[in-house]
Amino acid sequence: MDWQAHRRDAHAQGKTQEFLRQIVYGGNDGIVTTFAIVAGFAGAAADGVAQIGGIAVLVFGLANLFADAVSMGLGEYLSARSEHDLYRARRQSELREIARNPEQERMELFEILRQRGLPAGEADTTTAILSRHPEIMADLMMTYEFGMQDPEEENPAINGLFTFMSFVVFGAIPLVPYFLFDPTDRTFVLSVGSTLCALIALGLLRFSATRERITRSVGETVLVGAVCAVVAFGVGWVVGG
């Protein structure tokens, strides 16, 4: 019973990490995309953000937000579907090779096991056992020969939905001050602050998913967003100035 509970907990944690990956990357693109619009408008305003008007910022920001969110969500869905199809096709090909040329495939598996650190005798014994189970042998070959993991537990539609929702939720944050206040320089500063908070929160989510160093997870996320914002502001300033 304890083993079954542990297995369920481990599986649940794996799914949580999977969805966090969609949230982190969808959210990061959403924040950067939307704040690039805000920063670009701010840079283009010769006398400040107030010259542009909040409606323009919101219209362009929201249009870009939802268009890119749909693109990201569908892109994630199609990418996952393609990964599934490729894995299945490659695995079927490997099973045919095992049936057609078993000795060659056994030699390949033996070499793989040796490279993974098994002594020659144990590698030979393991190969002999696995060669009687082509399905398991094919799974091992997919992992160690082709570097491909079985994607069957992933749901492309759910992955795409999480990417879309994350893009929209996080990407809307830089626009919130323009919903609440008149488009002044102060509003732009509030947008910068809210964007920074969103990037920090996203970095913390990345840390919880990857368990990298927290300074690296947060620092890299904020740095990427800051670079994109500076570029967008600079382009707007050059074009609009």
Q: Is residue 2 part of a domain?
A: no
Q: Is residue 13 part of a domain?
A: no
Give the C-alpha separation, 237 to 239, whole Å.
Answer: 6
Q: What is the pLDDT of residues 17-70, one digit of tens each?
A: 667 778 888 888 888 888 888 877 776 664 444 455 667 788 888 998 999 999
Q: For residue 110, what are the CA distances in angstroms to 95, 125, 127?
A: 17, 9, 6
Q: What is the tally of structural domains in the chain?
A: 1
* 57 within domain boundaries: yes
Residue 70 has a pLDDT of 93
Q: pLDDT exceeding 90 applies to what percent of the chain?
A: 13
Distance (Å, rounded) from C-alpha 18 to C-alpha 176?
A: 28
Cβ atoms of 81 and 154 within 8 Å: the answer is: no
Q: Quick check: is 43 in a domain? A: no
Residue 5's pLDDT is what? 47
In this model, does residue 234 exceed pLDDT 70? yes
Residue 156 lies in a domain: yes
Q: Whole-model pTM above 0.85?
A: no
Does residue 46 lie within any of the structural domains? no
Residue 8 within any structural domain of the chain: no
Let me know if residue 101 belongs to a domain: yes
Q: What is the dihedral of CA 43, 46, 50, 51, to 10 degrees?
A: -120
Domain that holds residue 168: 24-35+52-240
Query: Looking at residues 75-103, what average pLDDT do you find?
Result: 88
